[in-house]
Amino acid sequence: MQKTILLTGGTDGIGLETAKLLAAKGQTLLLHGRSDAKLANAKEVIKQNSPEVHINTFRADLSNISEVLALASKVKDQYSSIDVLINNAGVFKVQNPITDTGYDVRFIVNAIAPYLLTTQLLPLFSANGRIINLSSAAQATVNIEALKGHQQLSDSDAYAQSKLALTMWTFQLARSLGDKAPQFIAINPASFLGSKMVKDAYGTQGKDLSIGANILVRAALDDEFSNASGKYFDNDIGNWSQPHPDALDEKKRKVLIEEIENTLDKLSIKNT
Ligand SMILES: NC(=O)c1ccc[n+]([C@@H]2O[C@H](COP(=O)([O-])OP(=O)(O)OC[C@H]3O[C@@H](n4cnc5c(N)ncnc54)[C@H](OP(=O)(O)O)[C@@H]3O)[C@@H](O)[C@H]2O)c1
């Protein structure tokens, strides 16, 4: 069956590889990127192998909450339904980790922007829809003060905490939204895949990106992922697994979501 799939961060790394594979399988692609030039390039590259693909591009910098809201509005204006959202865009190492609104860009791009995009787009999904969130083997207890922008973290701490935050809200929405909501699935695409993120962070070439792209395509399309809401797939072991214990703790998940909502309230006020 042909699906309509919104993929964030589709201009490089695992995202671009995933977009190529989905296009080759005849899926309709809503390709997000933060740069018009990289989006045009990605579209050209994807079309070289899959000239018939339906592909629509959307530009938004996910470190800017008003751009996340504008992205959601544009998608809602153009589509009445979506089958799959892959929240793939992410950051590890950046020159200025604190945004001009005072928050850590890792928390914003890796956890808060995908939460906002997902919740804004929920009306477009049926219960068969899938929200696929790119988690990581790196997961660490969230320092709420750092999430609020009151404390600075190292690159690796901010990354691991933001990835656990994403995994925690994935599990919480899966449990709180009920049967009519789409499936919420967290996936570690495998560690040390050879993207620019891994090269910048660890100075290593990394493994074949197709390892990550293949698991995302399976998660988007295959029946094996059709009853997987609130689960974590660890592609380092090629199987379902348990995330960090905090993702299994409902009380901690609720506190985290409350803090994300508070942050969004503050950011929306600053953005108006
Ligand atoms: N590689 C691994 O081993 C590994 C392991 C576990 C999890 N992951 C996760 O997999 C996902 C993809 O990462 P990757 O390894 O493929 O890294 P990557 O090549 O650096 O790709 C990251 C993507 O996110 C986009 N992005 C970054 N900041 C953004 C922003 N502010 N607004 C909008 N888009 C933004 C990038 O856009 P540009 O193209 O413009 O740079 C790029 O398309 C990430 O969530 C990462 O945490 C990767």
pLDDT at residue 23 in the model: 98
pLDDT over 90, % of the chain: 94
> With a 6 A CB cut-off, is 114 part of the ligand 1 pocket?
no
The pLDDT tens digits for 167-218 are 999 999 999 998 889 999 999 999 999 999 999 999 999 999 999 999 999 9
What is the 217 CA–ligand 1 centroid distance (Å)?
16
Residue 268 pLDDT class (50, 70, 90 cuts) = confident
> With a 6 A CB cut-off, is 50 part of the ligand 1 pocket?
no
The pLDDT tens digits for 219-258 are 999 999 999 999 999 999 999 999 999 999 999 999 999 9
| Nearest atom in ligand 1 to 159's CA | 47
Dihedral sign computed on CA atoms, order 158, 164, 170, 173: negative
> With a 6 A CB cut-off, is 87 part of the ligand 1 pocket?
no
The C-alpha atoms of residue 136 and residue 87 are separated, in whole angstroms, by 13
> With a 6 A CB cut-off, is 214 part of the ligand 1 pocket?
no
| Nearest atom in ligand 1 to 105's CA | 31
pLDDT at residue 227 in the model: 92
The pLDDT tens digits for 121-141 are 999 999 999 999 999 999 999
What is the 88 CA–ligand 1 centroid distance (Å)?
6
What is the 196 CA–ligand 1 centroid distance (Å)?
8
Listing DSSP states for 250-262 in one string gives HHHHHHHHHHHHH
106, 60 in Cβ contact below 8 A? Answer: no
pLDDT at 93 over 60: yes
Phi-psi region of 178 (alpha: psi -120 to 50; beta: other; left: phi over 0): left
The residue nearest atom 43 of ligand 1, judged by CA position, is: 9
| Nearest atom in ligand 1 to 87's CA | 45
The helix or strand, by DSSP H or E, that contains position 84, with its residue range, turns out to be strand 84-87
> With a 6 A CB cut-off, is 186 part of the ligand 1 pocket?
no
What is the 25 CA–ligand 1 centroid distance (Å)?
23
The C-alpha atoms of residue 213 and residue 15 are separated, in whole angstroms, by 7
Can you name the residues that pair with 98 across neighbouring β-strands? 104
> With a 6 A CB cut-off, is 117 part of the ligand 1 pocket?
no
3-state secondary structure of 5: strand
Domains detected in the chain = 4-271 (3.40.50.720)
The residue nearest atom 17 of ligand 1, judged by CA position, is: 197
Pocket test for ligand 1, best of 6, 11, 14 (most atoms within 8 A of CB): 14
Q: Are strands 55-59 and 28-33 parallel, antiparallel or unpaired?
A: parallel
The pLDDT tens digits for 107-119 are 999 999 999 999 9
What is the 90 CA–ligand 1 centroid distance (Å)?
4
> With a 6 A CB cut-off, is 192 part of the ligand 1 pocket?
yes
pLDDT at residue 270 in the model: 66
> With a 6 A CB cut-off, is 91 part of the ligand 1 pocket?
yes
